[in-house]
Amino acid sequence: MELFNNTGKTAIVTGGGSGIGKTVAEGLSESGATVAIVGRTLEKTEAAAREIHDKTGNTVKGYQGDVTDSGGIQKFLSNIYDDFGQIDILVNNAGTLVPGTVEDLDEQGWDQVMETNAKSIFFTTQAVLPYMKEQNYGRIINTASVAGEVSLSFSSVYGTSKAAVIHQTKQLSLELAPYNITVNAVSPWFFETEFNESDLADEDFRKAVENRSPMKRLGQLEELKSPYLFFASAASGYVSAQNIFVDGGMTVYGL
């Protein structure tokens, strides 16, 4: 289990104020890491940080940051480095969804999703690179989605953005390998969070989601901690460019 111990490491989780990001931040804190939670709303990230600290006893701090703004990325990374003196793990988790098909999705919706889900990963990784190169060590984990592999009927752009995340994971792993930096992705199916609670409140929609998985249920947030922790720790030292589907088998469901 020492391979999964992140004591002495500093981790950043973007979009960590709630949902998947908050769960991942909690898992990293449980593994011993110092955790920086980044989100658009400082009050939300600080509240999440306090809650996780109270559970784990380890250092967790909230920061305000907008991953769609390159200047904002530089600012929160600089603040985190000033506070902790190192950045070892980056979880690119911030994301959004705008519903709409090719018939009705507008340019603003397209840009919003692509900038938040795909463009932000490239430029946050670019900004964190000097810190990781300096120490010749880094773990980068991107939150992708099953939608990067299969099509969803309710959003043309979301799946496109997540397919870009999966490819960026491969491309960046190639470019950063010489610096002992691994880059991997986790692709969840539906987990009950604030992000999708209104959709899942519709019983027909919820049942349709559950029936698409051979396990006939939604994922439990606790079940997401282990994949991220594996990629964040020494246990995955020779693993890069990989994407784990955490989907109850949904992506192999043929009929």
Residue 29: partners with Cβ closer than 8 Å, 6 or more residues away: 35, 52, 53, 55, 56, 58, 60
pTM: 0.96
**pLDDT at 134 (0 to 100):** 97
> What's at 245, amino acid-wise?
F
Would you name the residues annotated as active-site residues?
A: 158
DSSP state of 155: B
CB-based burial label for 123 (10 Å; 0-12, 13-18, 19+): middle
Report how far apart the first and last C-alpha atoms of the chain are (Å, whole number): 39
**pLDDT at 139 (0 to 100):** 98
**pLDDT at 26 (0 to 100):** 98
Q: Which domains does the chain have, with CATH numbers?
A: 2-245 (3.40.50.720)
**pLDDT at 152 (0 to 100):** 87
Please report, in tens digits, the pLDDT of each residue of the chain (255 residues total): 799 999 999 999 999 999 999 999 999 999 999 999 999 999 999 999 999 999 999 999 999 999 999 999 999 999 999 999 999 999 999 999 999 999 999 999 999 999 999 999 999 999 999 999 999 999 999 999 999 999 988 899 999 999 999 999 999 999 999 999 999 999 999 998 888 888 899 999 999 999 998 999 999 999 999 999 999 999 999 999 999 999 999 998 764
**pLDDT at 63 (0 to 100):** 98
**pLDDT at 197 (0 to 100):** 83
